[in-house]
Amino acid sequence: MSTRRRAVLAGALAALAAPALAQAPARCAGPLYLTIDTGWGREAEQIAATLRRRGVRATLFVANEPSFRGDTTLAESWAPFWRARAAEGHVFASHTWRHWYFGPDPAPGQVRYASRRRGEGAEVLDAAALCAELARPVEALRRLVPEAVVLPLWRAPGGITSPNALRLAAACGLRHQGWTRHGFLGDELDSAKHPNAALLRRNLANIRAGEVLVMHWGVRSRQDPFAGILDELLAGLQARGFCFETLPAEGIAS
């Protein structure tokens, strides 16, 4: 082969290779762990599309909460949504079945579990009842999405636990997963006092490698949905070299 033909061939091969090289990820400056709690679900499809576009996989904590559709988030009507998330590589964990809140422990081996919705009241759970409360959302999810990857983790609503809740859940084989110091993204805050632009600036300035981040599939009370800045937030974090990973089975210290 002549020198000229060799040079032309080399140039053609380089041109073909250029797009692939341009798409290769930069070296990871550190992992981030995005977690999403169930929430109201109003912006769920918009959020899912943003994650897909940015190539971000998250850990999804599921509970059977009321949704904007008038159903609940682990009803059969949500099966296509959860199946699509499993197919995209997201993983799952328990966020309790009823999304009630834990209070002060009433006695050894017991936890207080109370609703914040009018008329639903409160209960005292023993070890077996707490295990059942944490297992039920996972059982419902597996009926909807048999192929779902479920981690041995759980998250209490509001991240509020008690010593007995942690101890009894650990005996069920579940470790509690909270979020880290700068991991609260702010989507539950009043948007009049905490507008999206301010949340975006704060999160981009404060988030560090190794953070466990938390948000929801839409929050009913927020007038300016956080989903509107999610793409810009993820792009900014990726521009800083962070890569997104799902939680490991043993969780991350928070």
- Find the helix or strand (DSSP H, E) in which 170 lies: helix 163-171
| Angle at the Cα of 222 from the Cα atoms of 217 and 223, rounded to 5 degrees | 120
Per-residue pLDDT band at 1 (split at 50, 70, 90): very low
User: Please, which residues bridge with residue 62 across strands?
Assistant: 94
CATH topology of domain 31-101+134-244: TIM Barrel (3.20.20)
Question: Which structure tokens are listed for 186?
Answer: 């702010």
Query: 98, 87 in Cβ contact below 8 A?
Result: no
CB neighbour burial string for 155-188, b if at least 16 within 10 angstroms, e if fewer: bbbeeebbebbbbbbeebebebbbbbeebbbbbb
Question: What is the rounded distance in angstroms from the CA atom of residue 121 to the CA atom of residue 180?
Answer: 31
Pick the range with the lowest mean pLDDT from 16-30, 39-53, 101-115, 170-184. Answer: 16-30
Residue 155 has pLDDT above 80, yes or no: yes
* Percentage above 70 pLDDT, the chain: 90
Give the Å distances, CA to CA, from 199 to 9, 65, 193, 238: 51, 25, 10, 17
Q: What are the tens digits of pLDDT across the range 23-68?
A: 334 589 999 999 999 999 999 999 999 999 999 999 999 999 999 9
Quick: pLDDT tens for 195-253.
999 999 999 999 999 999 999 999 999 999 999 999 999 999 999 999 999 999 999 99
* CB contact at 8 A, 216 and 142: no
Domain assignments of the chain as residue spans, ordered by start: 31-101+134-244
Tell me how far the alpha carbon of residue 243 is from its chain's centroid: 15
